[in-house]
Chains A and B, each alone.
Chain A
Amino acid sequence: MSRYFTDEHEWIDVEGEIATVGITDYAQEQLGDIVFVELPAEGASFEKGDDAAVVESVKAASDVYAPISGEVVESNSALEDEPALVNSDAEEDGWFFKLRIADASELEGLMNEAAYKKFVASL
């Protein structure tokens, strides 16, 4: 399994043709206490860059973009009851949704963990 990162602070785990998407620990830290996550419905289809989810902190709502194109095969229902899971475990149990990858070439050019760390350090 490979993990990719975007400059919009999302992580993508790729296993075969399925990509699991979440926001990074840096992103949850910046957002603060998360009180609601709006997730896409199963079967929804996204182009890269589409609004795919919304994460609401105490203060504000932020869009989460589809980091690559694909069809939603599952959303993380645990976040409905416990949105704070995104704060406590952003990069594992706090995942948002799984996509069936439409175009694997879109993964090219995304960052690996070392590059993302460097990117965050530069902010």
Chain B
Amino acid sequence: MASIRLTRRPRHPVVFGVLLVISVLMVLPFAELILSSLRSANTVHEDTWLPSVFEWSNYKQVVTLIPFGRYARNSAVLATLFSILTTLSSAVVGYGFARLRGPGKNILFGLLISTMMVPQIVTLIPTYLLFAQFGLVGTYWPWVLWGIAGAPYAIFLYRQFFSSFPKELEEAAVIDGAGRIRIFVTIFLPLSRPLLVTAFVLAFNTVWGDFIAPNLLLDESNTTLAVGVSQGYVIQQGFQLSNLLAGGAMLYLVPVVVLFLAAQRSYVRGFVNSGLK
């Protein structure tokens, strides 16, 4: 269909101006965070927008006043562990939903879609009680189990993706006598690389950003950066040194933003492609 090509629209100085103002407002808190993190303890109260001295040594305190390195390593280990497991497990389950048939498939698929909307916050406390019964509180086992269970949304994405391939893809392999597992590992898994990346990044961000589960399930010695930073740098009555808190939040945030900017393209495409058809 020859749709009418809209004539080149005129420039929109007003739209440009509005977008510019909003964009700057949206990222201004980041700038303030960086500036706050560089104020020295004596000058945090000064009323200038730029600190009179840039106290770079704050960052030394940020990483030494709390066991920052250990928390960061815990976060990285936990997020990587969970992300690898959930990415692979979701691919396996998604393949099952896409290419295989069995009794009760529709019911199970309905269940998958339903669980997509069950908020973690509802199941977390009763799950915590379950983990407590098995002595898993204070360990990383909950994340291993959550990882193996797969993530409904990722399973759904894989299912959509694997459904799009023609039957012939498997037929040849079956003639060669390959089993389901080999077909999955040698044909489908390599094809899904872009999706693997998206699912991994999403899962990593989820664990890195999670506060509630580590706060509930882990303790001082093995907790994550999210918990460590947000509860650190305390002076009295729970009030925190705002310049150090800013520095801690800054360092905590850097990996998330870098990962997003690096994966932005495939990340955005993944969502848009999966729906609206």
Decide whether A and B are members of one complex. no
Residue positions of A touching B, CB distance < 8 A: none
